[in-house]
Chain A
């Protein structure tokens, strides 16, 4: 029986492991955290259908449990990778016939954009923090009061040369729309403002959701980036921006500011390049063999990619990637 190691227990890795296992391939799934699920584990609902993130994860876990071919090892991190062997940070080595790298991405650290005061001002939070609040059904300000005016800022750590993140993180626009709707559902009387530089509604149902946010929920969209955040004397936040459609500067007091943090490549990708000979893109994401016919294969035979390791992707794309990578691995193993 062939043995494949899948590194990364997010949705792409889980999907890939399940698909391989169903093809009678023995799989070892490595996850550095204490549980599988990746970033989706912290998410509340998924756009554009508002499907609970838990539903997707439990579906994947169910699929993985259909065979006995998967061994999941949590709390372990791969350090060096070859098609025949993966070495863990503990020093343990595991032999295999192929490897799928599905280590995903890192959320941009909002502290770096100091002008927004994340970690300084209590009611400046990130989109990930907001999902955690949604999960607890407790979206409140630090003092426990209800926010009456909320600003959501797009592109924090995306399309931003100053922080060396030139790429678009792709899913933040639609996440901002989704979170704005959820906030309006929770607090219908609140004013919610989305500050954007472009609205990129690329997926099915996204544009409709954007329209619904405006027409049904009266979410405001302002084309302009927030330049800085300061405290007001009443402990609210003062934001400064330029409304680039009217060409005028804008100053607004808000109760809460949500920073839509982007997807950053993992720092670990640099060592995949240096130690394992894998190729990286300028953005730091891994470079697939090509962008069309071999987009889940690496430049090294026997090492494959799945999910957001190669570029920012939404959950559906990551799942497709997982399934595609499994097919490519199987084809490759059959040829050996």
Chain B
């Protein structure tokens, strides 16, 4: 495939001095990702990034579920920008795709309808006594990693290459609907042929898989999942994607969005329980990584430090292919060495006799 069209969509991404806004849900599902992002930016790349404990949820989940009104979310977002200004920053980077979509949408709304910005300023001042400046640069954290991808490649301890065959690992990328489908120009590569994750994969030695349902939604869709009766619709979307990508035998999936990572990972378990279908080459599941985890593995981080033991689909087959050295016995140990407990084996997991042998804390 000629992926030349991505060059049509470029955007300015600040090189340094970022104000960091965390995601509401990522720390539960992929707990090491945000921490490793801060480490990569701060320690590996020597950039200044501020992790502000004062910021709140952007309330995007509530907004997309029709619980939070537009004026409310505008005031909440204005407060985040106000905190950024207080901290002395102008470059805003958000960890969550939905938040990124919200910030992009509201900045565009204020641009198109200046009276809404004025009203937001009034509301924020009345509620908190605060004023705000709009960020000079807005980027999703995947944009920031994309921006530094060559610097990461130079520091790489490992590549996205199968150490047994020497072949590039086959990677499925999924950017998430709110990254560029709302405003294609806000995403690198646009919405049809997005390059933000593809660029990382290619820079780090992997090979991208283009498959028929590449653009399809993972199925999260907020109300698809939040309303229990709709969850069949949610899983059917993930099912459609997994069925479509499986013939290409991907080594792993890399996701941009907290929801997509979770659903493409956890629905694999559900599908296996429902009808016994698994999609990985080994008869188990296809590992699902966040882009920070992918960057962390490339930079030589320990997979358990990256929080990869929290994945539904085991990552060990991928770690073995990449030649990552890891301690299987440490998989279910917390940061202080405390045993976290071990999930029941399922069809998508790769529990081997080796796991059992090292299962020392039980």
**Given A114-B192, A115-B192, A232-B212 contact (CB < 8 Å):** yes
Is B2 among interface residues, defined by CB-CB distance under 8 A?
yes
B5 touches A233 (CB 8 A): no
- A121-B1 in contact given A230-B213, A231-B210, A233-B248 (Cβ < 8 Å): yes
B191: A residues at CB distance < 8 A:
114
CB-contact partner of B5 in A120, A230, A232, A238, under 8 A: A120
A232-B1 Cα distance, complex, nearest whole Å: 12
Q: A121: which B residues are within 8 A, CB to CB?
A: 1
| In the complex, per-residue mask of B210-240: 1 if CB is within 8 Å of any chain A CB, else 0 | 1111110000000000000000000000000
Q: Tell me if A228 is interfacial: C-beta within 8 Å of chain B.
A: yes
* CB pair B248 A120 closer than 8 Å: no
Residues 1 to 25 of chain B near chain A (Cβ within 8 Å):
1-5
Of the candidates A119, A231, A233, A238, the one having the most CB atoms from chain B within 10 angstroms of its own CB is A233
Tell me whether A228 and B215 are in contact in the complex, defined as CB-CB below 8 angstroms, given that A114-B193, A233-B247 are known contacts.
Answer: yes
Instruction: State which residues 106-155 of A face B: CB under 8 Å.
Output: 111, 114-115, 117, 119-121
Contact between A120 and B3 (Cβ–Cβ < 8 Å)?
Answer: yes
Contact with B along A72-96 (1 / 0, CB 8 A): 0000000000000000000000000
Residues of B within 8 A of A233 (CB): 211, 247-248
- B214 contacts A114, CB within 8 Å? no
Q: Is the interface of B mostly helix, strand, loop or mixed?
A: loop
Q: How many whole Å from B230's CB to the nearest CB in chain A?
A: 18
A115 and B5 alpha carbons, distance in the complex (Å) = 11
Say whether, besides A114-B190, A114-B193, A233-B248, A119 and B5 are in contact (CB < 8 Å). yes
The distance in angstroms between the C-alpha atoms of A115 and B216, with both chains bound, is 12
Count residues on chain A whose CB falls below 8 Å from chain B CBs. 13
Count of A-B residue pairs with CB < 8 Å = 36
User: Would you give the 0/1 interface string for A210-232, flagging 1 where the beta carbon is closer than 8 Å to chain B?
Assistant: 00000000000000000010111
**For chain B, which range describes its interface: under 10, 10 to 19, 20 to 34, or 35 or more residues?**
10 to 19
The docked-state distance in angstroms from the alpha carbon of A290 to that of B247 is: 60
User: In the assembly, what is the distance between CA of A117 and CA of B212, in Å?
Assistant: 12
Contacting residues, chain B, for A111 (C-beta < 8 A): 5
- Measured CA separation A111–B5 after assembly (Å): 8
- Contact residue among B2, B3, B211, B247 (Cβ-Cβ distance under 8 Å from A230): B211
Closest to B1 in A: A120
- Cα A230 to Cα B215 with chains together (Å): 9
B265 CB to nearest chain A CB (Å):
23
Q: State whether A231 touches B1 (Cβ < 8 A).
A: yes
Inter-chain CA distance A115–B180, complex, in Å, is 13
Given A120-B2, A120-B5: A230 and B193 interface contact (C-beta under 8 Å): no
Residues of B within 8 A of A231 (CB): 1, 210-212
Min Cβ gap B276→A in Å is 23
How long is the Cα–Cα vector from A114 to B192 in the complex, in angstroms?
6
Contact string, B255-266, partner A, CB cutoff 8 A, digits 1/0? 000000000000
The chain B residue with its CB closest to the CB of A116 is: B192
Complex CA distance for A150 and B216, rounded to whole angstroms: 24
- Chain B residue contacts of A120, Cβ below 8 A: 1-5, 193
When distances are taken between beta carbons in the complex, the residues of chain A under 8 Å from B215 are: 115, 228, 230
| Residues of chain A contacted by B210 (CB below 8 angstroms) | 230-231
Provide the residues of chain B in CB contact with A230, threshold 8 Å.
210-215
Specify the chain A residue showing the minimal Cβ separation from B4. Answer: A119
> Beyond A120-B193, A232-B212, A233-B248, is A114–B1 a contact (Cβ under 8 Å)?
no
Which residues of chain B have C-beta atoms less than 8 A from A238's C-beta? 212
The distance from the CB of B189 to the nearest CB of chain A, in whole angstroms, is 10
Closest-by-CB residue of B relative to A236 is B212
Chain A residue with Cβ nearest B247: A233
Query: Distance in Å from the Cβ of B326 to the closest Cβ of chain A?
Result: 33
Within the assembled complex, what's the spacing in Å between the Cα atoms of A232 and B214? Answer: 11
In the bound complex, residues from chain A placing their C-beta under 8 Å from that of B190 are: 114
Residue in chain A with minimal CB distance to B248: A233
> Are B2 and A119 in contact, with the CB atoms below 8 A?
yes
Q: How distant is B131 from chain A, measured CB to nearest CB, in Å?
A: 37
A-facing residues in B164-201 (Cβ within 8 Å) = 190-193
Which residues 9-67 of A sit at the B interface, judged by CB distance below 8 A?
none
- Alpha-carbon separation in the docked complex, A111 to B4 (Å): 11
Contacts of B213 on A, CB cut-off 8 Å? 230
Chain B CB count within 10 A is highest, among A111, A115, A120, A231, for A120
Residues of chain A within 8 A (CB-CB) of B212 are 230-232, 238
Provide a sorted-by-A list of 19 A–B residue pairs whose CB atoms are within 8 angstroms: A111-B5, A114-B5, A114-B190, A114-B192, A115-B215, A119-B4, A119-B5, A120-B1, A120-B2, A121-B1, A230-B210, A230-B211, A230-B215, A231-B211, A231-B212, A232-B212, A233-B211, A233-B248, A238-B212
| Residues on A facing B (Cβ under 8 Å) | 111, 114-115, 117, 119-121, 228, 230-233, 238
* Known A114-B191, A233-B248; further 4 A-B contacts with Cβ < 8 A: A119-B4, A119-B5, A228-B215, A230-B210
9 pairs of A and B residues whose beta carbons are closest in the complex: A114-B192, A230-B212, A238-B212, A233-B247, A115-B192, A120-B2, A231-B210, A120-B1, A232-B212
